[in-house]
């Protein structure tokens, strides 16, 4: 499975999709290990080397839930090939290759801003990606994600809500970082039809 990132453009034009072949991924994994995870009830600091992900589940699978999240980058990897990204979203409880992600990303190491947007992934393939806004590098990005019956509603202060229809059903909420370091403040405000399990950050 190839690792890929969605580049979101500041001007709102069609984003690009960046791919890397399996040989490069295997070579990177042999040379490097994913960096450490620090986590608590509503706070997590995730860090990952170029081309890697650091990911944490937020709670049990549910058919309806709401996440309040605040995200800020604390370190950007200087690799020109792998843009740093921070993600909050949901994946299908039976297949992690089906997911929805709200993300912030620095496309180029010379950019003095990050772009916020979303993407929908089905069977490991990116089928939809779009940008919503951009923020300063050291700015904390706040968003609320509401999930119900396959629909995701994104709310960012100062912007009209965005609603996306997916094929997801029962989902697991999670956060992730790639090619850099990011801090997350998260809260699950609503969780119905959930399996028994603690509503706290647990490592994969």
- What confidence score (pLDDT) does residue 189 get? 74
The residues spanned by each domain of the chain are 3-203
**Tell me, what's the pLDDT at 190?**
56
pLDDT at 80: 66
189: tokens are 């405000």
Helices (H) and strands (E) in the chain, counts: 1, 14
Q: Is the pTM of this model over 0.75?
A: no
Instruction: Check residue 157 and give its pLDDT.
Output: 83
3-state secondary structure at position 152: strand
Going by C-beta distance under 8 Å and a sequence separation of 6 or more, which residues neighbour residue 105? 5, 6, 7, 8, 83, 84, 85, 86, 114, 115, 117
pLDDT at 120: 97
What local confidence, expressed as pLDDT, does residue 172 receive? Answer: 95
Instruction: Identify the pLDDT of residue 126.
Output: 94
What integer pLDDT is reported at residue 158 of this predicted model? 83
Rounded distance, CA 172 to CA 188, Å?
A: 11
pLDDT tens, the chain, 204 aa long: 333 344 444 444 334 334 333 333 332 322 232 333 333 347 889 999 888 889 999 999 999 999 999 999 999 887 767 889 999 999 999 999 999 999 999 998 889 999 999 999 999 999 999 999 999 999 999 999 999 999 999 999 889 999 999 999 999 999 999 999 999 999 987 555 444 343 333 332
> Regarding the domain delimited by 3-203, which CATH topology (the fold level of the hierarchy) does it fall under?
Jelly Rolls (2.60.120)
- The C-alpha atoms of residue 24 and residue 127 are separated, in whole angstroms, by 24
Nearest partner of 157 among 177, 132, 175, judged by Cα: 132
């Amino acid at each position: 499975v190839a690792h890929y990132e969605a580049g979101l453009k500041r001007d709102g034009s069609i984003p690009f999709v960046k791919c890397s072949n399996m040989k490069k991924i295997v070579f990177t994994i042999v040379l490097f290990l994913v960096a450490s995870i620090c986590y608590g009830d509503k706070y997590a600091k995730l860090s990952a080397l170029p081309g890697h992900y650091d990911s944490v589940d937020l709670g049990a699978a549910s058919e309806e839930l709401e996440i309040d999240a605040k995200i800020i980058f604390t370190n950007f990897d200087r690799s020109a090939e792998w843009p740093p990204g921070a993600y909050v979203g949901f994946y299908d409880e039976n297949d992690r290759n089906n997911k929805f992600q709200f993300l912030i990303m620095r496309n180029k190491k010379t950019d003095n801003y990050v772009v916020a947007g979303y993407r929908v992934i089905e069977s490991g393939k990116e089928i939809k990606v779009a940008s919503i806004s951009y923020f300063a590098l050291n700015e904390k990005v706040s968003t609320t994600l509401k999930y119900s019956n396959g629909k995701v509603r994104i709310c960012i202060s100062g912007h009209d809500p965005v609603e996306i229809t997916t094929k997801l059903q029962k989902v697991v909420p999670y956060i992730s970082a790639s090619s850099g370091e990011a801090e997350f403040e998260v809260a699950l405000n609503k969780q119905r039809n959930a399996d028994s399990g603690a509503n706290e950050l647990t490592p994969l």
